[in-house]
Amino acid sequence: MSKEKKTALSNGVMLNAYPDSIGIKLSDAIEMLQKKEFKDVFSLFYILPTFFNSDLDRGFSIIDYNINKKLVSEEDLKTLNKLNIALKFDIVLNHLSVASRQFKDILKNGEKSKYKDFFINWNTFWENNGEVNKDGIIIPKKEFLDKLFMRKSGLPILKVPFPDGSEKPYWNTFYQEINYDKITVEDLKSVENLSVTEKEEICIKLNNLENKEEILNLDYDNNLKPELLKIVNAKKSFLGQMDVNAKSKLVWDFYEETLKKLSDYGCSILRLDAFAYLHKEIGKSNFFNKPGTWIYLNKIKKIALKNNLTLLPEIHAEYGLHLHDEVAKEGYRIYDFFLPGLMIHTIEKKNNKAIIKWINEIITKNYQTVNMLGCHDGIPVLDLKGKVIDGIYNQGLLEDCEIEDIMNTIINRGGRVKNLFDAEGNKISYYQVNATFFSALGEDEQKLLLARAIQLFMPGIPQIWYLDLFAGKNNYTAANKGGTGSHKEINRTNLSKDDIEIGLKKKIVLNQLKLIRIRNTSKAFLGKITINKSKENHLDIIWNNKNDFAHLTANIETLEFSINYSEKDTIKKIKF
């Protein structure tokens, strides 16, 4: 790794965007980074996984890890390297798309497929540990089912149709999308003893059914229903993020191949998406099972070291579980998912107590973090909670009522809530709130600028969501379209080249760029951080490194702040 990229991992600021978030392809984002306004602003670029070939969840359902040539070129990677911009990518450890070559091979060859055990057949996994229901799906025993950690309502399965007409349930923790083409009279040609008019009426009814299984409840001859269901299923197409079976050697061969490929693309930091769901064991929660998760992490770490990659495990869990502490103690960088909610709480309540507690923990325990305000996902709120473990309550970073206040504030400003469910579809907890960070702050430019300044003075690598940089507002049109993950689209508006040009004339954008440039270039941030004593409605943070310093003083109540810093043997001051 070059000296510049090593420094970036300690001191640099990271842009975060999809390949087509700016303009229509990655080269447009690179063109933006080459503008004079962006000189020395970013040292890293976290490019989200539509960089690869994918088909669902905007990139997180990977078909393969080859470059998506519609959005990215080899020349783009060469240009980023010339700009000394290090790259961060994702590997989605827990799942692959049904359109992956591995799953397609199973669909084609069934039990004879080389990849038969690459994914998890739900019924095979739970065999002899539950009862088969009327749909042929094993329902695990209650003591097992109650322990499962669900990311969506109902069982985490996708029923997959095979060429022989059978359907098999496969483990599908995250998203799936099932679509049906319209049924026409021509499709019903095999159905005998029906007039054209009757067939037209049946087509209307079938096409209006949201749940096609409801065919069995329609007022038709019972002999007709199975044939109609067969016709409907023939018109079915589906997408899904299918959980891989980490007990399979072929899965680990795939990881070896993938990490080598990503390193060759120029990856420096590798985010391990959904890694905590990878280990599955009967009688455990299927989320951060121990010691299985640690065993898998260590195996990935060995592959990463061979390819000169820094790992960043992505994990959302209550602060009170202290999983962030366990992961950090094992020598991994951790995502600071606590900061977004803490930042909103700090600014809205005009109180520094909670955020200073977290900063001091980072310093004391020497956590190596990547922090953020907004991102491609939501604003985390579950992460701030406490947790009861073995009958003892472990304090959260905020009280439940304070977290509810954050959620209500964002929702009242147009945000959407993402919840967690049990196996029966009952809500068990909130998870995150979806909004742009600017809208979450009431679209107040001074609040956004103060939040950015505080983020940039936090320990760790600051990650900047492209839309926050341009003070993007909630996109209700996109969020209201429905479909899988539509709530997330509220904060994923693509910006055109014209949007960038207009944005670069706005003070909120130019002032953020000024702040980011200081953070990205000052050697002070390679040194030591000190939190000076202050009133609860103030923040006073200073970084020192030999003769270099950067000093933030902020009045959280009035939102005014100033930064004194050294630059080439001179002392400068900016005030907002």
List, by residue number, the catalytic residues: 273, 314
R_g of the chain, CA atoms, integer Å: 26
Per-residue buried b or exposed e for 436-445, using 16+ beta carbons within 10 Å of the residue's own CB:
bbbbbbebeb
CA distance 249 to 209: 42
- Using DSSP, how many helices (H) and how many strands (E) does the chain show? 20, 27
Tokens 């001179």: give the residue: 570
Q: ω into residue 291 within 30 of 0, thus cis?
A: yes
Cα maximum dimension of the chain: 93
CA distance 271 to 261: 15
Q: What is the dihedral of CA 273, 279, 280, 282, to 10 degrees?
A: -150
User: 518 with 550: CB under 8 angstroms?
Assistant: yes
CA distance 457 to 68: 36
CA distance 94 to 501: 39
CA distance 107 to 331: 40
Tokens 């709120």: give the residue: 381
Bridge-based pairing state of the strands 548-555 and 561-567: antiparallel
Tell me, what DSSP letter sits at residue 495? Answer: B
Q: What is the dihedral of CA 355, 361, 363, 365, to 10 degrees?
A: -160
Tokens of 411: 């929702």
Bridge-based pairing state of the strands 44-47 and 86-92: parallel
Tell me, what DSSP letter sits at residue 38? Answer: G
Could you tell me how far CA 417 lies from the centroid of its own chain?
Answer: 15
CA distance 94 to 377: 17
Neighbours of 105 (CB within 10 A): 16
User: 562 with 574: CB under 8 angstroms?
Assistant: yes
CA distance 114 to 105: 8
Q: Is the dihedral of CA 35, 39, 41, 43 positive or negative?
A: positive
Nearest to 304 by CA among 315, 293, 296: 296
